[in-house]
Amino acid sequence: MEQIKLILKDIPELHRIEVYEANGGYSAFKKALGMKPDEIIEEVKKSGLRGRGGAAFPTGMKWSFMPKDSRPKYLIVNADEGEPGTFKDRAIIEKNPHQLIEGALIAAYAIGAQTIYVYIRGEYVKWMKILQNAIDEAYSRGYIGENIFNSGFSVDIYIHRGAGAYICGEESALMESIEGKRGYPRVKPPFPAQYGLWGYPTTINNVETLANVPVIIEKGGEWYSKIGAPKHPGTILFGVSGHVNKPGIYELPTGVLLTDLIYKYAGGVRNNKKIKAVIPGGSSTPALRGDQIEGVTMDFDGLRNAGSMIGTGGVIVMDEDTDMVKVLWRIAKFYWHESCGQCTPCREGTGWMFKILDRILKGGGKPEDLDLLVSVASNIEGNTVCALGDAAAWPIKFGVERFREDFEKYIKFKSTVLVEK
């Protein structure tokens, strides 16, 4: 598959506004200001762009939910990157922050937002500075502010720093956090477009999603829709980590083979080992066994058919020596830690799953523990306000099913016979 770079282009110093402008930057925004907001939304719909934050919801459709009245409206850029295995948004902010800003400006114009908040995870101090610098540059050139290029459109962009809570990447928890509260997800409906920040219509888009928008406006939705997988077009910044020779971000068209991503781009598995498991889209997506990855394409349908999800495109590769009980134990620990505590099934269930896995890992597992794990996971799934419950349940449920022999070894020998490398 041909590599095509729409975001992480091979242009040195692209983070500087003069370099970005010299390479056609902000021309899409100028073009957009000459279009009607509905025309922009139509173009994005035509492009088939789907959200890159995990849920793959059609972006144009999301924008079209925004009411057309005169109330204040908000756009939120979700840069609360925290899904284990995911490190793409920081790459965009570092290498091409202006394309993100330009995409956000086009989005704000299309949905009628006067204020843009960038919610960025609290640990990304370095990237906050890079982004703030880019925002300041864009203000100074008149791309942000009052009556931009005499269009009558005014908008401000503010960075809002998170403070260490994975749940705030969930859009309604994120809004609570901006409002200065604990990050408890809201019950939906109403959806953010109806009742968002301070009750006003709000759209929340992921960093990578917005970075695609200038390309769509510049080249047209139809052009974009022909890249990659027809039902999930465009490129994705796949982050490959774990036991590969060349971990990193690879921007590739959707529909690329998972095996190509691992062997052709990420340099294959360290020490030429076999693959035991692959988490294809961040820790919330169930791991596939090494014998399940042949022919799997990296797009929404490809991964659904394979028994997992595209998620954030954060691929974690584990070699044949990996202790899957320990991996699932670590994932369970994460969701237990990050559960906000609002819904009982998630608050209690994530803790129970962790405790059972901890017992198994320490040699005290019982044969019935495996069914118990699946039962707890099933009782979390679908019974919570937000998707964190599902994200905690699925990896464990499928993990027990797909890596049963690892668990059985632990339970049979009552000791940690497997050592992680």
Give the footprint of another protein on this chain (CB under 8 A): 72, 81-87, 89-90, 121-126, 156, 158, 160-166, 177-183, 198, 239-243, 247-249, 279, 283, 314, 316, 318, 322, 326-327, 330-331, 334, 337-338, 340, 420-421
- Comparing CB distances to another protein, the nearer of 324 and 377 is 324
CB nearer to another protein: pick between 41 and 249: 249
Nearer to another protein, 209 or 283 (CB): 283
Cis peptide before 233 (omega within 30 of 0): no
Minimum gap (Å) between residue 35 Cβ and another protein:
29
Contacts 24+ apart (CB under 8 A), 269-275: 269/243, 269/244, 269/245, 269/317, 269/319, 270/243, 270/244, 270/245, 270/319, 271/319, 273/243, 273/319, 273/320, 273/321, 274/319, 274/320, 275/317, 275/318, 275/319, 275/320
Shortest spacing between CB 367 and another protein, in angstroms: 26
- Count Cβ atoms below 10 Å from residue 315 Cβ, excluding itself: 27
For residue 312, the minimal CB distance to another protein (Å) is 11
Instruction: Give the residue with the Cβ less far from another protein, 155 or 229.
Output: 155
Between 160 and 409, CB nearer to another protein: 160
Of residues 216 and 392, the one with the C-beta less far from another protein: 392
User: 182 or 188, CB closer to another protein?
Assistant: 182
The residue (of 104 and 217) whose beta carbon lies closer to another protein is: 104
Quote the least distance from Cβ 284 to another protein, whole Å: 12
Q: How far is the CB of 90 from another protein (least distance, A)?
A: 6
Our CA dihedral for 27, 3, 311, 239, rounded to 10 degrees, sits at -100
Q: How far is the CB of 171 from another protein (least distance, A)?
A: 16
Nearer to another protein by Cβ, of 45 and 90: the residue is 90
Q: Which is nearer to another protein, 222 or 420 (CB)?
A: 420
The nearer residue to another protein, 32 or 168, going by C-beta atoms, is: 168
CB of 125 to another protein, least distance (A): 4
Tokens 């974009």 correspond to 224
Nearest to 306 by CA among 317, 297, 316: 297
Minimum separation from the CB atom of position 24 to another protein (A): 28
CB of 88 to another protein, least distance (A): 9
Instruction: Tell me the CA distances in angstroms from 232 to 41, 222, 229, 312, 348, one per residue in order.
Output: 17, 13, 5, 13, 36
**Least distance to another protein, CB of residue 327, Å:** 6
